[in-house]
Amino acid sequence: MAGDLNRRGVGALGLGALALGLLPRAARALTVDEARALVDKLIAEINAVINSGASESAMFVKFESIFDRYADVDYIAQSALGPAGRQASAAQKAAFKTAFRRYLAVKYGKRFREFIGGTIVVTDARPLKSFYEVISQAKLPGQNPFEVRWQVFDKSGQDKFFNIIIEGVNMLSAERTEIGALLDKNGGNIDKMIASLKG
């Protein structure tokens, strides 16, 4: 009898594990190991781009592709647009997201280009509230190493990073300030702000 119970218990555990594996990604909680694995892959791609010898414009195209795959661009764009997003139409939000993605690729692509000849290496990962923070170290020739922190969640149903903190500078906060200033410069007109963002 005890043996039957044990066998049934093991069988139930096995079926439970199988069912968990078959659940949609959005139904399972992101783990610290998955967050770290995401950033490991992301950093490997960034290291490959910055040390590829490609031209600046070619690097920006590659960085835009990397943002598409690894960043929750919808969330970052919504955060950057802030309260103005409540007045924006669906078309304006879509246009802003497209322009903002390119803007991010160029802005942070330029920052990552400063890492040419160096490397970024993941050193730690930890849970923080409703997300995970993956800590990496940038090692550049002739400079002291510094931290790059990646904040990761799965709110979209996919594992994505939604914030980067480089030497203490928080991307979400910085971009909300930048976009807010650009809106003010354009008299609060979202279409003009988007046009300015495109350059």
The owner of tokens 């039957």 is 4
At 142 the pLDDT is: 86
User: Mind listing the pLDDT tens digit of every residue in the chain (199 residues)?
Assistant: 444 434 444 343 333 333 333 333 343 468 999 999 999 999 999 989 988 988 989 999 999 999 999 999 999 999 999 999 999 999 999 999 999 999 999 998 888 888 888 888 999 999 998 899 999 999 988 889 999 999 999 998 899 999 999 999 999 999 999 999 999 999 999 999 999 998 7
At 26 the pLDDT is: 41
Q: Is 14 exposed, middle or buried (0-12, 13-18, 19+ CB in 10 A)?
A: exposed
Q: Is 83 exposed, middle or buried (0-12, 13-18, 19+ CB in 10 A)?
A: exposed
Closest CA to 85 of 70, 101, 69, 74: 74
Token pair listed for 193: 């702000």
